[in-house]
């Protein structure tokens, strides 16, 4: 017997990730319909959230502001409507890279050296190359790998243009690995090999611009190390339901946490569905499992 029947999928949104969210939401809606649910898609274009009157549960497929930052979750909590993913506070902590850094470093979890700035500075406090990115943004929007001083002024200005705060981090050489979490289970790891060397917005959402190896071809001890660390991050930030932890793996086997995504993408190039498929979970079943983990503020 299904826990819910009438599902509303929230997609689109008001953030810079709107186009990605529309694709994620459409994919989720198709998957849930295949799984036997009555589904209605709502293209969110303002913060004035209007839901179909027969909504039993909301599947949040909104990325960025008013999606991952805890605000839509607060709205649904006040209305007593069940919804997928993490609660308001955990969403806010994970979305804000400054808060994420503070919480994880206080727990002794490994992150790249970094500082947060609220104005342009003449040079980063770490040797080139460095990574600079907005504190509250996703999909690598506003994120730059800066290899020298000639690139620096434009990169720091762009990163600050989104929400007036930016994180500057040392660049960690090595492999990009992601760990998808479903409930309390870490799915097979994915190694990402962007064709251009940087896993930026174009590499993420353009088919053929990145190669994905799943399960990631790693020794068992490293797979277990990354999986365990991902769960520690998930729990430290108070996340629920599902999420995806991105890390860097150095040639020496050191692991550094980059971030936790509380609403990872569900597009054709997205990583979470790839990890689920490698675990034998077909897309409709994945959507249903996430739905069954919905948070109920009733």
Active site residues: 17, 139, 205, 244, 246, 259, 261, 265
End-to-end CA separation in angstroms for the chain: 20
- Determine which helix (DSSP H) or strand (DSSP E) holds 252, and give its type and residue range: none
Cα gap 264→271, rounded to integer Å:
8
Q: What tokens does 224 get?
A: 């277990």
Cα gap 69→183, rounded to integer Å:
20
Do residues 187 and 276 lie in contact, with contact meaning Cβ atoms separated by under 8 Å? yes
Which residue's structure tokens are 């607060």? Answer: 74
Cα gap 146→124, rounded to integer Å:
10
Do residues 103 and 259 lie in contact, with contact meaning Cβ atoms separated by under 8 Å? no
């Amino acid at each position: 017997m299904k826990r819910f029947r009438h599902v509303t999928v929230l997609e689109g949104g008001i953030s810079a990730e709107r186009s990605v969210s529309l694709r994620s939401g459409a994919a989720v809606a198709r998957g849930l319909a295949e799984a036997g649910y009555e589904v209605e898609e709502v293209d969110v274009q303002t913060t004035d959230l209007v839901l179909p009157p027969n909504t039993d549960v909301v599947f949040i497929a909104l990325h960025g502001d008013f999606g991952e930052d805890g605000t839509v979750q607060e709205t649904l909590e006040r209305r007593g409507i069940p919804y997928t993913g993490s609660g308001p506070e955990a969403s806010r902590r994970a979305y804000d890279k400054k808060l994420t850094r503070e919480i994880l470093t206080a727990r002794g979890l490994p992150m790249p050296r970094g500082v947060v700035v609220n104005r342009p500075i003449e040079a980063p406090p770490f040797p080139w190359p460095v990574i600079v990115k907005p504190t509250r943004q996703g999909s690598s929007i506003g994120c730059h790998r800066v290899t020298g001083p000639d690139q620096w002024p434009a990169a720091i200005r762009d990163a600050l243009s989104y929400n007036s705060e930016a994180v500057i981090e040392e660049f960690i050489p090595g492999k990009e690995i992601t760990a998808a979490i479903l409930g309390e289970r870490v799915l097979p790891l994915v190694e990402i090999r962007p064709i251009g060397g940087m896993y930026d917005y174009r590499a993420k959402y353009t088919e053929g611009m990145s190669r994905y190896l799943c399960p990631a071809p790693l020794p068992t001890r490293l797979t277990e190390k990354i999986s365990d660390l991902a769960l520690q991050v998930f729990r430290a930030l108070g996340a629920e339901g599902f999420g995806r932890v991105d890390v860097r793996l150095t040639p020496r086997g050191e692991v550094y946490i980059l971030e936790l995504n509380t609403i990872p993408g569900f597009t054709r190039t997205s990583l979470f569905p790839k990890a689920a498929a490698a675990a034998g979970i077909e897309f409709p079943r994945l959507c249903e499992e996430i739905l069954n983990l919905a948070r109920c503020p009733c």
